[in-house]
Amino acid sequence: MIDFCGIRLEHEVINGSGTFDAIAAQRAFGDELLERFPFSAFVSKTVTLEPRQGNPPPRLWELGAGMINSIGLPNKGLRGYLAEDLPKLRELPVPLFVNVMGSAAEDVARLVAAFGARDEVAALELNVSCPNVKTGLLMGADPGETAALLDAVRPQTAKPIIVKLTPNCASPAAVAAAAEAHGADAVSLINTLRGMAMHPRRPAEPWLGGGTGGVSGPAVRAVALAQVREVRERVRIPIVGMGGVQSGRHARDLLDAGADLVAVGTESFRDPYAGGRIAAELGRIDANSGVFSGASDEARPPIAQRR
Ligand SMILES: Cc1cc2nc3c(=O)[nH]c(=O)nc-3n(C[C@H](O)[C@H](O)[C@H](O)COP(=O)(O)O)c2cc1C
């Protein structure tokens, strides 16, 4: 068992927001999904105050090592999510983290207050970093903006608040430090890196309906490692590391770089049970290396002691 911001988790592997639809997966796989749920906590896709249609198609471009998405955060909005999705997600066998985004601090504060008041919700994640939506980028790209956001949001809930950092800014570590100083309980990183693909048959035209999109998957793993390390050097709060994780080895590397939990995103599109496989691989690596046994505890103290 792991303690993450006071929440008990079975293992270190959770999902990246927007990359695993637990409700659709349950429809496809039935109760088997609940019995073998791949993650130790479920992170919702981003929810906004009002419903959103998302970006025009095409929304995906496959890369040699991952993909670019320009989904544009389609969602039912706060009211639809509370009425339709929350009753289903409360059946999941793991804690629920709800990821929210707004175009102004007051919008995010309303979302956090509404979800924070629900027993089904264990923690909130603030998406301040989505490169597909202009408003998302602003608040997470500048330490002052992030501090102001936390000042508006922190009084709305006693539940843990995780700030999801964007890699598309001058210094994610400076933004993380501002988030910590203004009351964030944890940070998560990385969100997708802004990227673009040209249309294969129409010169000078981008392929994606949104123009640019977010790069994810193996292509961003080295960036994630470097940024997690840099953020770890600046903050003491827990870190959820993600970006291109496909195996227990990749997860172990992010933990060694300073993360406390690891999230799996793009890999779940290839195999919805990837999270469970990666957690099992990580467990075997740790058992074989003795990372969590006896003497090695000194080398890597548990989260509670490191805070
Ligand atoms: C198709 C897709 C949709 C995503 N949707 C969201 C989202 O709704 N909110 C969010 O904070 N991040 C979203 N992300 C970012 C992921 O949670 C994660 O930060 C990123 O993809 C890096 O991890 P990965 O390389 O393992 O995919 C999305 C990523 C993908 C590929």
For a ligand 1 pocket test, name from 191, 245, 278 the mutation site with the most ligand atoms within 8 angstroms of its C-beta: 191
pLDDT, position 299: 46
pLDDT averaged over every residue in the chain:
91
Instruction: Report the pLDDT value the prediction gives residue 103, as an integer from 0 to 100.
Output: 87
pLDDT digits (tens, 9 = 90+) for 43-59: 999 999 999 999 999 99
Contacts of 285 (CB under 8 A, 6+ apart): 248, 249, 252, 291
Could you tell me the distance, in angstroms and rounded to a whole number, from the CA of residue 15 to the centre of ligand 1? Answer: 9
Flag whether pLDDT at 301 surpasses 50: no
pLDDT in tens, 186-221: 999 999 999 999 999 999 999 999 999 999 999 999
> What's the average model confidence in pLDDT over 274-278?
97
**246: Cβ below 6 Å to ligand 1?**
no
Ligand 1 atom closest to 15 (CA): 17
* Distance from C-alpha of 213 to C-alpha of 92, rounded to nearest angstrom: 31
Is the minimum distance from the CB of 73 to ligand 1 under 6 angstroms? yes
CB 70 near ligand 1, within 6 Å: no
CA separation, residue 291 to residues 283, 284, 287, 296, 299 (Å):
10, 10, 7, 5, 8
Q: Quick check: 153 and 108 in contact, CB under 8 A?
A: yes
CB 173 within 8 A of CB 232: no
Q: Kindly give the distance from the C-alpha atom of residue 183 to the centroid of ligand 1, in angstroms, as a whole number.
A: 24
Please tell me the residue having the least CA distance from ligand 1 atom 28: 18
What local confidence, expressed as pLDDT, does residue 295 receive? 41
Report the pLDDT value the prediction gives residue 53, as an integer from 0 to 100. Answer: 92
Contacts 24+ apart (CB under 8 A), 28-37: 28/272, 29/272, 33/272, 34/91, 34/92, 34/93, 36/273, 36/276, 37/92, 37/93, 37/94, 37/276
Protein residue with its CA nearest to atom 3 in ligand 1: 18
Average pLDDT over residues 237-245: 98
Which atom number of ligand 1 is nearest to the Cα of residue 45?
8
Does the structure show a pLDDT above 60 at 112?
yes
**For 62-84, how does the pLDDT look when each residue is reduced to its tens digit (9 = 90+)?**
999 999 999 989 999 999 999 99
Q: Is the CB of 166 under 6 A from ligand 1?
A: no
Active site residue 130: yes
CB-based burial of residue 300 (10 Å sphere; 0-12 exposed, 13-18 middle, 19+ buried)?
A: middle
> What percentage of the chain reaches a pLDDT higher than 70?
91
Ligand 1 atom nearest residue 46's Cα: 8
Ligand 1 contact, 75 CB (< 6 A): no
**pLDDT tens digit string along 22-42?**
999 999 988 888 889 999 999
Query: pLDDT tier at 98 (50, 70, 90 boundaries)?
Result: very high
- The 10s digit of each residue's pLDDT in 168-184 is 999 999 999 999 999 99
What pLDDT score was predicted for residue 111? 97
- Give residue 130's pLDDT: 46
- 80-to-99, 172, 283, 304 alpha-carbon distances in Å: 15, 33, 38, 37
Q: Residue 226: pLDDT above 60?
A: yes
Contact 78, 48 (CB under 8 A): yes
Q: Which of 22, 47, 130, 163 is catalytic?
A: 130
Are 239 and 189 a contacting pair, CB within 8 Å? yes
Nearest to 123 by CA among 135, 115, 131: 115
For residue 254, pLDDT beyond 60: yes
Q: Is the pLDDT of residue 60 over 60?
A: yes
Q: Which atom of ligand 1 is nearest to the CA of 242?
A: 23
The pLDDT of 144-156, averaged and rounded, is 94
CB distance 18 to ligand 1 below 6 Å: yes
Q: State both tokens at 289.
A: 């290396």
pLDDT band at 116 (very low <50, low <70, confident <90, very high): very high
Q: Are strands 13-15 and 261-264 parallel, antiparallel or unpaired?
A: parallel
Q: Report pLDDT for 292.
A: 53
Give CA separation, 70 vs 1, 61, 73, 74, 215, in Å.
36, 9, 9, 10, 9
pLDDT, residue 205, reads: 96
217 lines ligand 1 (CB under 6 A): yes
